[in-house]
Amino acid sequence: MQPRVYVYTNQKAVSLQLKELLMLKMKKRGIAIVPQGQPFDYLITIGGDGTLLSAFHQYQSMLSTIQFIGIHTGHLGFYADWQSYELDELVDNLLAVDQKDPVSYPLLSIEVTQQDGTITKYLALNECSLRSNTGTMVSDVYVKNRFFETLRSDGLCVATPTGSTGLSKSLGGAVMHPRLDAIQLTEIASLNNRVYRSLGSPMIIPKDEWFRIEPSIRGKASMFTLMFDNVTLENYPVHAIRLQIADERIRFANIRHTHFWDRVEASFIGRNYQPEIKLNNQLK
C-alpha cells in the first residue's frame, strides 16, 4: 500500500519552502500527502528537534499507528536527522520502508498529583523537570515506594534515553543508549554540605521502578514550575509527581539506520562536520 504522509513544519521560510519541494517530489512518485485531520502513516517534521517535539505532543494519541521522520533545517537536529538536501533519497526510500520494522524509543510517563488531589498525566519524549523559582525546593525522593533521600536543590530533571542528550546532559547526566529501557534523574544545583546530603550524582533506574517526588518550599506546599520537552506549566500546585517509563513508545521510520553513537558524535563532537550544503542548489 502507498504510504500516507502528513507534513508538519515550523514557520521558518526555509522549512515552508522545503515542504513545497518535498510535496512536489512525493506527488511525482504517487505518495499521498494527506490534509490535516485525515489519517496518515508517516509524520514528516521539517525544522529542528523542537519541531519534532511539538509534533509529538500534538499527535501523541496516535503513537501506536504513526511513524516519525525528522528533516532538519538549520538546527541541531538530534531527532531530525535527515538533511534538507537528502529529499530524493528520503522519497525513494519511503516507498520501500513498508517492509521494515520501525525503530522505537522509550517515553516518560509523568503523573502529577495536585495539592487538591487532582491527578493529571503527561507524556514526554525528552524529559520532565520540576523547579522552584522562589526558594530552595525540598524534595522527598522515593524510588519504587521506598524513601530514598531528601534533596535540596533548585529543581530536578528526569530524562528518557533519547532525552539524555538534551537538558539532562547539561545537568551532568550520562548519555544513554536508547535501547535501554531506563530513565535518569539529575539534580539542578543541589545543596550538598555537612548538614544537607543527597546522592549528588545522576541516578538511572530500570523500567519496573519509578521515582516519586514530593516537593515543598520552606516546609510548605507551594507552587512549582513543571516543564516537559518544550512545554512549561508555571505556578503548578504540585503535591507529588510520579515518573516512570511509559507503556507507549515513539516509532521512527526505519528508512536508513543512523547508528546512535554516530548521531551523538555528529551533534556533540562534530569531527566530520561540514558546513551545510546550501538548499539553494535544490530550490533552483
At closest approach, how far in Å is the CB of 49 from ligand NAP?
A: 4
Question: Considering only CA atoms, which of 165, 164, 238, 249 is closest in space to residue 207?
Answer: 249
Q: Which is nearer to ligand NAP, 5 or 124 (CB)?
A: 124
> By CB under 6 A, what part of segment 163-202 binds ligand NAP?
163, 165-167, 170
Q: Is 12 in the site for ligand NAP (CB under 6 A)?
A: no
End-to-end CA distance of the chain: 32
Spell out the long-range contacts of 167-173 with Cβ–Cβ below 8 A and sequence spacing 24 or more.
167/126, 167/127, 167/129, 168/126, 168/127, 168/202, 171/202, 172/201, 172/202, 173/202
At closest approach, how far in Å is the CB of 40 from ligand NAP?
A: 23
229 carries an active-site annotation: no
Question: Considering only CA atoms, which of 216, 41, 37, 192 is closest in space to residue 130?
Answer: 216
> By CB under 6 A, what part of segment 39-68 binds ligand NAP?
48-50, 53
Q: Which partner in Mn ion, ligand NAP, none is near 240 (CB below 5 to 8 A by kind)?
A: none
At closest approach, how far in Å is the CB of 14 from ligand NAP?
A: 13
In the set 41, 49, 81, 229, the catalytic residue is: 49
Q: Which partner in ligand NAP, Mn ion, none is near 163 (CB below 5 to 8 A by kind)?
A: ligand NAP
Q: Which is nearer to Mn ion, 77 or 215 (CB)?
A: 77
Q: Which partner in Mn ion, ligand NAP, none is near 53 (CB below 5 to 8 A by kind)?
A: ligand NAP
Q: Is 75 in the site for ligand NAP (CB under 6 A)?
A: yes
How far is it, in rounded angstroms, from Cα 131 to Cα 154?
6
Enumerate binding residues for Mn ion (CB under 5 A): 48, 50
Q: Using alpha carbons only, give the angle 79, 69, 167 rounded to the nearest 5 degrees.
A: 20
Burial class of residue 23 in the structure, from the number of CB atoms within 10 Å of its CB (0-12 exposed, 13-18 middle, 19+ buried): middle
Active site residues: 49
